[in-house]
A and B are shown apart, each in its own frame.
Chain A
Amino acid sequence: MRKIEENIFKVLMILSTIMISSTLFMILYTIFSKGIGSLSWDMVSKIPEGGFYIGKGGGILNAIVGSIYITIGSTLLGLLISLPIVIYINVYAKRNATLASITRLSYDILFGIPSIVYGAFGFAIMVYMGLKTSLLAGIITVTLMIIPILVRAIDEVVRVVPEDMSNAVFALGGTRYETAKIILRQSIPGIITAILLSFGRAIGDAACVLFTAGFTDSIPTSLDQPAATLPLSIFFQLSSPIQEVQNRAYAAAVILTIIVLIINIVAKIASKNLSKNKI
């Protein structure tokens, strides 16, 4: 009897494991098989031409470039803010454990806040400051969303740097700032993984930029112009009733999938290879 129950559950467990791990391949297969046919060089090299949304020529270069601008901008800005925070709670706030745990708790919570809320908040700020939908507003909002990702991921690697190392720096007469530099150097592989993670999130997010970055058919040339993004471009084209436009949405989905897959795989390899040289 005990054996039968055990075996039934074992079969169920294996089945659900197979099912869950195969969903990834199902999703990839569907998107690739549907979109690869409409993928063309024009898609990635041209901006929308007149009548693009009723099936005429052009591509989605505007969305690709817009997404890359927003992603790079927000990741850089996010790093500028999250590195000091991680250093502070790990090096400076050693004696003030309460502040460190409050910080960690608030970032865990902020991590769970959905991007639509960040989007709405960003929009509220924008209206308050009299800004229009723009590249800058998009970057700021996405930065708010990815700071928790960066802080949590970097904190995780900085925390496991052996205490002996910072003690050694202190013993040589180093200040806390100098210690922090040594610790950061030690955590570079983890930091790179964190950057790539936030990259992936930032490029795939739609709800944040919907309110704040707007959408446009041209490539933004300054921070106060609106910017198109890849997820929104997929979303808008898919809601069109015209078949060709829908097909292009699938092709755009293939492009986004490839970008996200590359980012994730590079992140995996980076964290594996770079950590070889660690002490």
Chain B
Amino acid sequence: MKNIRLLKDQFISKIFLVLTLLSISTVVLIALGLFYKSIPILNSTSLYNLLFSSEWKPFKEAFGFYPFIVGTLWVTAIAIIIALPLSMLTAIYLSEYAHIRVRKLVLPLIELLSGIPPVLYGVWGVLVIIPLIQDKIAPHFVEFTTGYSVLAGGIVLAIMIFPLIISIVIEVFDNVPQDLRNASLSLGATQWQTVKKVVLRKSFDGIVAAVVLAISRAFGETIAVLMVCGNLAQVPHSLFDSAYPLPALIANNYGEMMSIPMYDSALMFAALLLFAIIFLFNAVSRIILYRIEKRNN
């Protein structure tokens, strides 16, 4: 007779395996579930029209996502343009220049920043960024704006993705062998030259991965963006125009969507679109990051 302990072990092994497989399949389930719900809209409207038409009239069953897609791209681009240089400089400073004590002081603060719920970023954006844009920045450029704009969305998102970029880039920098830095320094290069020609070059792919991850985070952020972007279904033409990013659209219309035919299907298609793009971005950048980790072990 087999030992009861061994039986228990094998039994648990099977259960845990099933649980692991089931939970990995959530990725597939999400894709299938959202796809299933968006079949009606895909049958009635061509994919090209869904993506590139600007006509958004749910009551007439016209669902063109173009303004929302462009709105999402605007806020994401602004966020990256603001966040990338600032977080790169900070990451370089903390990893290459700063005293260990400074690093130990600043990193937890940045970590804490990533723990703040999106809705609070939204509140802060409404209280600080919107008036700032409306009263101080925008009057120099345009005649009138409410302040609820792609710029506001971009600034709030930028702050939300600082922690993500900084923590990944610092990790990538830590993976650059110290010997390479020493070799460069011993040839008479200054520290900045070493950073530029050795550290940055060596970690280029890691930085790309961090940026791609940050893009996908900005892409899917909902509540904060919903609160500061103005939510007008239009294609923005300047920094001070309102926009209506995709996640905000989904979140804002969940109440009405059951009462208008096809509306829920259209919104589920929007969620599927977000899922597909973010899945792809995440997969690519994670694989890059795995490679870096492997190379150094």
Residues of A within 8 A of B (CB): 2-3, 5-6, 9-10, 12-17, 19-21, 23-24, 26-27, 30-31, 34, 81, 84-85, 87-89, 92-93, 99, 101-103, 105-106, 108-121, 123-125, 127-128, 144, 147, 175-178, 197, 200-201, 203-207, 210-211, 231, 234-235, 238, 249-250, 253, 256-257, 260-261, 263-264, 268
Main secondary structure of the interface of A (DSSP, over half): helix
Q: Is the CB of A121 within 8 A of B193?
A: no
B187 to chain A: closest CB distance in Å? Answer: 13
Distance between Cα atoms of A90 and B192 in the complex (Å)? 41
Q: Does B213 contact A (CB under 8 A)?
A: yes
A239 nearest in chain B by CB position: B227
Q: Which residues of the other chain, B, contact A119 by a CB distance below 8 angstroms? A: 250-251
- Tell me, in angstroms, the Cα distance from A10 to B94 when the chains sit together: 11
- B260 partner residues in chain A, CB cutoff 8 A: none
Q: Are A124 and B93 in contact (CB under 8 A)?
A: no
| Residue of A16, A88, A102, A197 touching B90 (CB-CB under 8 A) | A16
Name the distance in Å between A257's Cβ and chain B's nearest Cβ. 6
A residues less than 8 Å from B281 (CB atoms): 112
State in angstroms the CA–CA spacing of A249 and B36 once bound together.
38
* Beta-carbon nearest neighbor of A85 in chain B: B20
Q: List 5 A-B contacts (CB under 8 A).
A: A31-B124, A109-B282, A121-B30, A253-B119, A264-B112
Known contacts: A13-B92, A23-B159, A120-B250. The answer to whether A204 contacts B110 by CB under 8 A is: no
Cβ-based interface call for B278 (8 A): yes
The residue that A17 contacts in the complex, of B94, B127, B192, B213, with Cβ under 8 A, is: B94
With CB as the reference atom, state the residue of chain A lying closest to B281.
Answer: A112
Contact, CB under 8 Å: B16 / A207: no
0 or 1 for each of B187-205: is its CB under 8 Å from A? (1 = yes): 0001111000000000000
Chain A CB count within 10 A is highest, among B111, B121, B219, B220, for: B220
Instruction: List the B side residues contacting A14 at CB < 8 Å.
Output: 93
- Residues 1 to 34 of chain B near chain A (Cβ within 8 Å): 5-6, 8-9, 12-13, 15-17, 19-20, 23-24, 26-27, 29-30, 33-34
Per-residue CB contact flags for chain B residues 44-81 toward chain A (1 = under 8 Å, else 0) read 00000000000000000000000000000000000000
* Residue B172 lies at the interface, judged by CB distance under 8 Å to chain A: no
Q: Is the CB of A204 within 8 A of B124?
A: no
Min CB–CB distance A8 → chain B (angstroms) = 9
Quick check: is B113 within 8 A (CB to CB) of the other chain? yes
| CB < 8 Å neighbour of A210 from B12, B251, B279 | B251
Do residues A92 and B16 form an inter-chain contact, with CB atoms below 8 A? yes
B185 at the interface (CB under 8 A from A): no
Indicate whether A116 sits within 8 Å of B251 (C-beta atoms), given known contacts A17-B89, A24-B113, A204-B119. Answer: yes
A109 CA to B8 CA, complexed, in Å: 33
Known A-B contacts A9-B192, A20-B162, A24-B113; A85 and B23 likewise in contact (beta carbons under 8 Å): yes
| CB of B294, distance to nearest CB on chain A (Å) | 10
Of the residues B27, B117, B279, contact of A203 by C-beta under 8 Å: B117
Interface range, B side? 35 or more
Contact A112 B217 (CB under 8 A): yes
- B279 and A113 contacting across the interface, CB-CB below 8 Å: yes
Top 8 A-B residue pairs of the complex, sorted by shortest distance between their CB atoms: A204-B117, A114-B220, A120-B271, A13-B93, A175-B9, A112-B282, A6-B192, A88-B16
Residue of B nearest to A263 (CB): B115
Our pick among A2, A10, A177, A238 for the contact of B9 (Cβ within 8 Å) is A177
- Give chain A residues whose Cβ lies under 8 Å from the Cβ of B9: 175-178
Given contacts A2-B190, A20-B87, A250-B123, contact A210 B254 (CB under 8 A): yes
Nearest chain B CB to A6's CB is how many angstroms away? Answer: 4
Q: Is the CB of A207 within 8 A of B123?
A: no
B29 nearest in chain A by CB position: A121
B100 in the interface, Cβ–Cβ < 8 Å? Answer: no
Asked whether any CB of chain A lies closer than 8 Å to the CB of B126, the reply is yes
Q: Which residues of A contact B123 (CB under 8 A)?
A: 30-31, 234, 238, 249-250, 253
Check B86 for interface membership: any CB of A closer than 8 A: yes
CA distance A119 to B257 in the complex (A): 14
Closest residue of chain B to A25 (Cβ to Cβ) is B109
Q: Give complex CA distance A155, B123 in Å.
A: 34
B37 at the interface (CB under 8 A from A): yes
The answer to whether B122 has its CB under 8 Å from any CB of chain A is: yes
Distance between Cα atoms of A110 and B275 in the complex (Å): 10
B141 within 8 A of A: no
What's the least CB distance linking A245 to chain B, in Å? Answer: 14
Task: Give chain A nearest CB distance to B19 CB in angstroms.
Answer: 5
B153 within 8 A of A: no
Q: How far, in whole Å, are A203 and B85 apart by their CA atoms in the complex?
A: 31
Q: Are B223 and A235 in contact, with the CB atoms below 8 A?
A: yes
Q: Which residue of A lies closest to B163 (CB)?
A: A20
Query: Can you list, as one digit per residue, whether each of B251-278 has a CB less than 8 Å from chain A (1) or not (0)?
Result: 1001000000000100110010011001
CB distance from A210 to the nearest CB of B (A): 6
B144 CB-CB contact with A under 8 Å: no
